[in-house]
């Protein structure tokens, strides 16, 4: 199958999304059966921060394991060739394990970024804010407003949740 840049980007985005959602599902089940703790259930701030770091490590580990399965599935697929870099003289001799390592970094990093994107303010499962908290709107896309809250965290919210524009 010939892979151009747009197709490759689409495949990587779908793969990263799938890896993130499956990782989130596995971590949810592990929390449900009390095999790992829920960081949000911890009251003390320092312990909660430590628990969130451990949860991030678990997410990274589960995502890494899933990426290994993806790499076993793709076999001898060459990521650099699909990007159009494999035909260059200086990259044509890159061993396949280096090519797969690069693909693994892209997929795990993409899964982490997808997770961060899905947890933005206003996203399903993302953080919530009490009403009346001032926000700064930066741009509007259809019915969505790109914002930054009082803690300087970025996110998107639906325009119906914005009280007024100043």
Banded model confidence at residue 164, pLDDT cuts 50, 70, 90: low
More confident residue, 81 or 31: 31
Determine which of 22-26, 85-89, 99-103 has the lowest per-residue pLDDT on average.
Answer: 85-89
Residue 18 pLDDT? 85
Ordered by start, the domain boundaries in the chain are 5-118, 120-166
Residue 91 has pLDDT above 60, yes or no: no
Cα separation, 148 vs 133, whole angstroms: 11
User: Is residue 15 a contact partner of residue 107, using CB atoms and an 8 Å limit?
Assistant: yes
How crowded is residue 28: how many other Cβ atoms within 10 Å of its Cβ?
A: 11
CA 128 vs CA 14, 27, 76, 89, 131: distances in Å = 27, 21, 44, 51, 9
Task: Calculate the dihedral angle through the C-alpha atoms of 90, 96, 98, 101, rounding to the nearest 10 degrees.
Answer: 140
Alpha helices for the chain (secondary structure H): 5-32, 45-74, 79-82, 96-118
């Amino acid at each position: 199958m010939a892979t151009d840049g747009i197709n490759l980007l689409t495949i990587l985005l779908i793969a990263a999304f799938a890896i993130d959602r499956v990782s989130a599902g596995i971590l949810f089940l592990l929390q449900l059966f009390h095999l790992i703790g829920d960081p949000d259930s911890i009251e003390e701030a320092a312990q909660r921060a430590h628990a969130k770091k451990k949860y991030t490590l678990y997410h990274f580990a589960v995502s890494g394991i899933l990426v290994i399965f993806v790499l076993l599935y793709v076999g001898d697929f060459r990521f650099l060739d699909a990007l159009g870099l494999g035909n260059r003289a200086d990259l044509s001799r890159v061993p396949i394990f280096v090519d797969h390592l690069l693909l693994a970094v892209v997929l795990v990093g993409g899964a982490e970024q997808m997770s961060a994107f899905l947890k933005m303010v206003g996203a399903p499962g993302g953080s919530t804010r009490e009403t009346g908290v001032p926000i700064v709107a930066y741009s509007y896309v259809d019915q969505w407003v790109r914002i930054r809250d009082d803690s300087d965290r970025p996110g998107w919210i639906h325009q119906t949740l914005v009280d007024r524009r100043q």
